Structure formats: structure tokens, C-alpha cells
Amino acid sequence: MDAIFLQILNGLDKGSAYALIALGLTLIFGTLGVVNFAHGALFMIGAFVAVTLSKVLAISKVVLDPERLDFLGNPAKIKTPYVIEWFGSFGEWMIDYTIPLSLLLTIPIMIIIGVVMERGLIRHFYKRPHADQILVTFGLAIVLQELIKIFFGSEAVPMQTPDTFTGALDIGIWFGFNPGSVIYPYWRLVYFFFAAVVIGGVFSFLRFTTFGMVVRAGMADRETVGLLGINIDKKFTIMFGVAAAVAGTAGAMYTGVNQPVFHMGMDFLVLSFVVVVVGGMGSLPGAVAAGFLLGVLESFASMPGVKNAFEAIGLPSIDQIIIYLVAVIILLVRPRGLMGKVGVMEE
């Protein structure tokens, strides 16, 4: 029982990332009708905004201390990051909380990147076939990924979570399991709550604001909204920026879960597409639900017990491919996905 509970928790953080990326994908798809293959790259860029911030904060002033010698006999170099020198303990706090602080940067940067991307490139592809849209965003994804590789190298960059949230929480005792049976890192819990807040925020933004109402109306019938004298294109452009920001913040926070590396976007992209298709193209709740569902399923398949059970009947373990298998089965049984409408984007 506790093992199952642990796997559900383990699935939640990956599921959160899937759900956030899939949410952005669906948002772009529902408003602009474009399949954005560069969405994984946006996730990755968000992560590297956090990396950049941590590098900037770590820029240090080097002072030679003649009293102390290092092992070569030269004066020891004492490095103090400038932020600590300028702000004292507030500077230390800033370095400690790099990842959450990076959200302040990520959101405006990602909105700008999203708007530039839509106005500069994707706008020209609305009237082109879907294949062209896929191809051009695919090309963009490669370019962005390679640029990041040039600047940050191909190695994974280690990132520190804030001290308060390092370590793990014995979450099992809350639910009446034996102490030590369900241990869960704090940061993953933070990530899950963060995802919940973002998802809730996007939904309430669409549901309870006038802007959101107009966007939803535009998703339902773009032409009529346009005829009513509303500049729907501009609103959709902003929604593209919002979707980019969702992906970017998801990436920035994910640096605390896994070390960011230049190909992380591509790794998540394929799975996020599967999530979108399983959830039902164009359905926001479907994307979120499918994201969590597939994340949890994946972690169940990697349970030692399940692996052993498969080996016992002579099958290799399927944790690497379970998501794809489930996607195939769902598409065979229910082609429009879990919550999708019939005939969306079928040509």
C-alpha cells in the first residue's frame, strides 16, 4: 500500500511537468490552431534562464589573502559573490533562492520570446499546411536547442534548491504509514504545488476574466469574435506568450528536480505530444488530466515489483515504453482522446 502511494507521488512531479507543457501546447493549439514543435524548447529555455541567473549571482569578487597560502604556496584566493558583498545576508538569501527568484525573470522573458516567435515566425504559417507548421517549428526547436548547447555546453548543469527545501519529507506518517516508508523530496512537493497553482491560475484566468472570456469565445468561433470588433489576433498573440511563460516557468522550476541539459526540451516534447493526444486535442482539462495520469503510470511501471512480475512471465520491463503503449491503446479505443471533441483537426 505504501509502495503504491509512493509511486503515485513519484509520478506526480513528472506528471506536473507533462501537464504544464501539454497545457501550453493545447492553449496554442486551441487558439491559433498551430502545432508547436518548439514548445519543448521553450521549456528548456525557461530552465536555462534559471541557470543564467544562478551564474550571474555567482559572479564573484576575488581577493588575494596574503596570510593564507594554498597548497602551491600562492596566496589563497577568496571569492565573495558581489551580491553578498553588496546586500549581505539578503544576497545570501538571493543565491539560496535562485530557482524561485528566477521565475520573476522567466515570466517576462518567456512572454517576450513567445510574442516575438508568434509575430515573427508562426504568424506567416497560419494559411500554410499543417506539415509546414510542424516542420518550421521543428527547425526552430533544433536551432534553439543548439544555441543553448553552444552557450552552456552539452553537460548537465547542477542547480541548488533552497536550503529549506533540500532533503526529503517523511510524508508517509501523515497518512498513517510506517515512518520511513514513504519519503519524498521537498522540492518535488513544491513542484507539484507550483504546477497546481499555475494550472489553477491559467484556468481561472480563462474562466473569470473578461480577457479570458474573449479568448474562449475566440477559440469557439474566431470569425464572429472578429466581426464583433475585437482584435482577436492580438489577444491570441498574448495567449501564445502566456503559453510560453507556462512552459518556461515549468522548466525553470524543474531545474530543482532534475539537472537541466540542452536536450531536455526534446525529451519532454515527444511525451507531451502523446499527452495532448491522449487527453484530446484542444481540451485543456484533458491535457492536464492526461499529463498526471501518464506521469503516474510511468512511475508505476518502473516499480521493482512490476518489473519483476514482467520478468517472471518472460517479458522485458516496460517502464520506458508504457506511455506510448497506453497512448496507442487509447487512440485505438477512443480516437478523440479522453476529453476531446470529435473531429478536431482531422483533415
Partner 1 sequence: MKKRMNDKLLILIFSVVILAFPLILAPTGAAYPDLMQRFAIYGIFAIGFNILFGLTGYLSFGHAAFLGVGSYAAMWMFKLLTMNIFPALILSVLIAGIFSLLIGFISLRRSGIYFSILTLAFAQMSYNLAYSVLTPLTNGETGLQLRLDDPRVLDTVVDAGSLPSTNLFGLEMKHVFWNPEILGYNLQFNYGFYVCAALLILSFYISVKIFRSPFGMMLRAVKTNQTRLNYTGISTRPYTLAAFVISGMFAGLAGGLLATMDPLAGADRMQWTASGELVLMVVLGGSGTLIGPVLGAIFIRYFNSVLSQINEFTLHAWFSFGPEWMTNLLVSIVDPFVGEGWELTLGALFMLVVTFLPGGLVDGGQRVGRWITGANRRAAKAREA
Q: How far is the CB of 278 from partner 1 (least distance, A)?
A: 10
Q: How far is the CB of 142 from partner 1 (least distance, A)?
A: 3
In the list 135, 156, 169, 196, the residue contacting partner 1 (rule: CB under 8 A) is 135
In the list 75, 88, 108, 129, the residue contacting partner 1 (rule: CB under 8 A) is 129
In whole angstroms, give the CA distance from residue 294 to residue 198.
Answer: 19
19 near 250, Cβ under 8 Å? no
In the list 142, 171, 217, 338, the residue contacting partner 1 (rule: CB under 8 A) is 142
Query: Which of residues 116 and 121 has its CB atom nearest to partner 1 in the complex?
Result: 121
In whole angstroms, give the CA distance from residue 136 to residue 246.
Answer: 22
Give 331's contacts (C-beta < 8 A, 6+ positions apart): 277, 278, 337
Which residue reads 544562478 in cell numbers?
A: 54
Query: What separation, in Å, do the N-terminal and C-terminal C-alpha atoms of the chain show?
Result: 46
Nearest Cα neighbor of 234 from 206, 214, 213 is 214
Which residues within the stretch 6-35 sit at the binding site for partner 1 (CB under 8 A)? 35
In the list 168, 189, 324, 339, the residue contacting partner 1 (rule: CB under 8 A) is 324
Nearest Cα neighbor of 182 from 3, 51, 347 is 3
Query: Which of residues 154 and 164 has its CB atom nearest to partner 1 in the complex?
Result: 154
Residue 59 binds partner 1, judged by CB under 8 A: no
Q: How far is the CB of 323 from partner 1 (least distance, A)?
A: 8
Q: How far is the CB of 141 from partner 1 (least distance, A)?
A: 7
Give 302's contacts (C-beta < 8 A, 6+ positions apart): 317, 319
Give 76's contacts (C-beta < 8 A, 6+ positions apart): 64, 65, 68, 69, 70
In the list 277, 284, 289, 294, the residue contacting partner 1 (rule: CB under 8 A) is 277
Residue 313 binds partner 1, judged by CB under 8 A: no
Query: Which of residues 34 and 84 has its CB atom nearest to partner 1 in the complex?
Result: 34
In whole angstroms, give the CA distance from residue 290 to residue 251.
Answer: 19
Q: Which residues bind partner 1 (CB under 8 A)?
A: 35, 121, 124, 128-132, 134-136, 138-143, 145-147, 150, 266, 270, 273-274, 276-277, 281, 316-318, 320-321, 324-325, 327-328, 331-332, 335, 345-347
